[in-house]
Structure 1
Amino acid sequence: MILGCRGRSAGCGSRSPAIVVAAGADEEGRFVMNAFQAFVGKRIYACGAIVLALVLLMHPSGAWAGDQPRAMIGDQPFPSIQQAFDAAQDGDTVTILPGIWREGATVRAHNLTIEGTGAHLQDTAVGGKAALVIQGDNTLVRGLEVSGVSVPSRNGAAIRQEGRNLTLQNVHFHSSEQGVLAGNNPGSTIIVEDSRFERLGRDGQAHGIYVNRIDALVIRGSHFLRSQDQGHEIKSRATRTTIEYSVVAALDGNDSRLIDLPDGGVNVIRNNVLQQGPNSVNGQLIGVGLELRGGSTWPDNNTLIERNIIINDRRHGTNELVRWRDVTDPEIIRNIIIGLPPAQVAPGNTVLSLGDSGRISLANTLALLITEAPGAYNYFIDVGDDGELATLSRSVNPVPLPGALPLFVSALAALAFVLRRRRGTA
């Protein structure tokens, strides 16, 4: 089949008949072919060159690289993401359009909503800091994917938060030096919901999320996975840190601690699945107050760790659930703890050792199933008062995936069976 130009085109001439000449064409077909050559002649080569040039100008996402808008405010398109944020007024909604964009931006307006569903900021950083440097207050970011952020200072982030109050919903930050980095900012709260952070960290100084001295960090229904290069999955110096209904898992990453709370504060870690991996560099799953010297940064200090499934898959060196210093002893209660010596675990928790029937395969099942399909983990365990699995709980915005949830429930059912057996009730 031979394909030529059709209709009017500056590169193909004003008249171009459709050409379809099959093998074994009859006399009429040959006539059409001759007509095509007469009308077009060598212009077919020029037309082909134009088509090739247009293909090369296509953006990797499939959008035209020329005048295709990258962002919108209402009905107003903008050719660059930064131009949209420069034009944004307080209270606007800026939509970053679907596509892979190698462009970041500084955000200065307040009370902004940033809609990013289908948009992926890749291999970009603004001011040697982050893909998005947010200087305005009260920002909501939804649906955005960011990857490949690297800067000379080795702490390139998906978001550098310089303003007050940030909420992230359904974002996916991965394969960068850092997910979110927030400086000291009294009065600020950062909330992360139904989001996924993975393969983040650099030189033990950059982490999945790292917030300095702010009022509160709240993480719900989210997944922090596979931190790399001795980064923590979560590091918070906030006055109050709450982590609930989430999965924090090292898996195959060479992370440090799952959760590091170096300044103490009021901390709640509950109804999560926490897994320290075989390649984790640090034997402590959680650290509290470990960078203090002679007193806490905050006047109130207490840490509650309750109703979690905690899995230690690290088999070398010394391993412990929590290490703390210069703060009140953490309250650790009603957890199911797998792979740590019973002598290390406070009373009021259920401990399963590697010798329990099915323990190794069950730990792997839990660690992997609940981290491989985003959305399925918005259904989480509820560890009962006596350390048994009571019911399944749901996060704020559950988005179950067919197929993944039944496997997750099966894994929990298997764990419940092991617990009943240990009590002689099965």
Structure 2
Amino acid sequence: MTPRQKTHAVYIGWSAAVAAALVAGLVGGPVSASAAPRSHAVGPGGSIQEAVDAARPGDTVVIAPGLYRESVRITKALTLRGSGPGTVLTPGTARTRAAKGCAEEGNGICVTGTAERELAGVSVRSLTLRGYRRTGLWASRTDRLSVRRVTSEANGVWGIAQHRSVRSVLKGNTVLENGDAGIFVANAIDAEGGATDTGGTEIAENRAAGNRIGVTVRRVRNLSVRNNTVTGNCAGMFIVGDESRPAAGAMTVRSNTVERNNLFCPATERLPALQGSGIVLTGSEATVVRDNRVRDNVGTWPMSGGIVLFKSFVGAANTDNVIERNDVTGNSAADLIDGGGGTGNRFADNVCATSRPGGMC
């Protein structure tokens, strides 16, 4: 063994001893290896799914920088942590699709509980998801899911999406050039029904650009959408409800920057053509839209404008929403639009130049 190799071996032994001593000191004595959370390392050429399968609840899977051609299904409480944007997951070949169901459905990472038991306490952070046919990160029936510092880009439908989930934190992520919404939170995508209570889900400090819609929240209640930067999409934010009960709403949309969402997206089976929409409420009740900067969203389509109240396509009106203290300028067809009927909607103390009907600025 060379002197350099001996030094390296001594350093590794010293580091392991110090780490063991620190752990023992923190908990007041030796820790059983079977009881302590473990860390599982994955490097280029390794399988993330195999590490996830080997992990126990509470463990952490750490992924080194590199390109990983696979999908990953998570069905236990653990942390999946990349090493920053350079940790990239992209669709794999048939031979590498170990995540049963997730890859076949066209998703990158799937976090899934069951109807009988929600999956609680999963954390995904610091990695990139790119080019999946459906969704970069898909979550279903989860509780306290945390998604932070994830980049999800160029996926066929959604960047980060969840349904039937509660108390999530989606924070500090970047969603770019996805086919539908960059971030999508819904009651259910596989059934009709009233809005569900998210238990205080947070959509915060994300950046959305180049998507069809930056952020969509559909048929849910009790959540906050705050401090996001949404620019360069066809539409900025959609708050969507329908005629079912309970109605969508009872949420806060505040301190977001929603500017220049002027890409053009053609009509689909569900929506007309989109261009120049800032914040759109359709079929919402008791939602507070406050302290947002909504500027230079310009279009000539039905939902174009700064902050737009629009009757849902099944006829549900907006009721009892509060639109106040927003900076809404440079938008067209108008800065503020109260359309589609509804009662109890209040516009107050907004900085704006044009409104439909007139007199709201």
| TM-score after normalising by structure 2 | 0.64
Distance 1:212 1:277, change over 3 A: closer
1:56 counterpart residue number: none
Candidates 161, 177, 187, aligned match of 1:199: 177
Secondary structure of the corresponding residue to residue 50 of structure 2: helix
Secondary structure of the corresponding residue to residue 288 of structure 1: strand
Q: CA deviation at 1:259?
A: 2.4
2:79 counterpart residue number: 113
Task: Indicate if the aligned counterparts of 2:40 and 2:62 stay in contact, CA closer than 8 A.
Answer: no
Task: Indicate if the aligned counterparts of 1:276 and 1:311 stay in contact, CA closer than 8 A.
Answer: yes
**1:120 partner amino acid:** V
Where in structure 2 are there 5+ consecutive unaligned residues? 1-37, 93-101, 113-118, 188-195, 242-246, 265-273, 311-315, 339-346, 355-360
Distance 1:277 1:328, change over 3 A: same
2:49 counterpart residue number: 82
Candidates 178, 181, 187, aligned match of 2:161: 181
**1:74 partner amino acid:** S
Secondary structure of the corresponding residue to residue 300 of structure 2: coil
| Higher RCO, Cα 8 Å, sep 6+ | 2
Distance 1:337 1:270, change over 3 A: same
1:144 counterpart residue number: 127
CA distance in 2 between partners of 1:339 and 1:76 (Å): 50
Residue deviations 1:11-52 (CA, integer Å, cap 9, x gap): xxxxxxxxxxxxxxxxxxxxxxxxxxxxxxxxxxxxxxxxxx
Give the length in aligned residue pairs.
Answer: 257
2:13 counterpart residue number: none
**2:49 partner amino acid:** Q
Distance 1:195 1:268, change over 3 A: same
Answer yes or no: is 1:285 the counterpart of 2:271. no
2:210 counterpart residue number: 226
Candidates 182, 192, 195, aligned match of 1:208: 182
Secondary structure of the corresponding residue to residue 82 of structure 1: helix
Give matches, 1:63-82, under 5 Å: 74=39, 79-82=46-49
Secondary structure of the corresponding residue to residue 49 of structure 2: helix
**2:176 partner amino acid:** E
The RMSD of aligned alpha carbons is 2.8
Task: Indicate if the aligned counterparts of 1:182 and 1:212 stay in contact, CA closer than 8 A.
Answer: yes
Secondary structure of the corresponding residue to residue 83 of structure 1: helix
CA distance in 2 between partners of 1:100 and 1:219 (Å): 28
**2:160 partner amino acid:** V
Structure having the larger proportion of residues in strand: 2
CA distance in 1 between partners of 2:226 and 2:214 (Å): 17
Residue deviations 1:51-74 (CA, integer Å, cap 9, x gap): xxxxxxxxxxxxxxxxxxxxxx52
2:322 counterpart residue number: 331
| TM-score after normalising by structure 1 | 0.55
Task: Indicate if the aligned counterparts of 2:40 and 2:60 stay in contact, CA closer than 8 A.
Answer: no
2:67 counterpart residue number: 100
CA distance in 2 between partners of 1:194 and 1:246 (Å): 9
1:349 counterpart residue number: 350
Structure having the larger proportion of residues in helix: 1
Distance 1:309 1:343, change over 3 A: closer
Task: Indicate if the aligned counterparts of 2:146 and 2:168 stay in contact, CA closer than 8 A.
Answer: yes
Greater gyration radius:
1
Secondary structure of the corresponding residue to residue 53 of structure 2: helix
Candidates 172, 185, 198, aligned match of 2:151: 172
Q: CA deviation at 1:109?
A: 1.2
Q: CA deviation at 1:349?
A: 0.8
**1:220 partner amino acid:** A
Where in structure 1 are there 5+ consecutive unaligned residues? 1-72, 151-155, 291-295, 354-386, 388-426
Distance 1:193 1:267, change over 3 A: same
1:159 counterpart residue number: 137
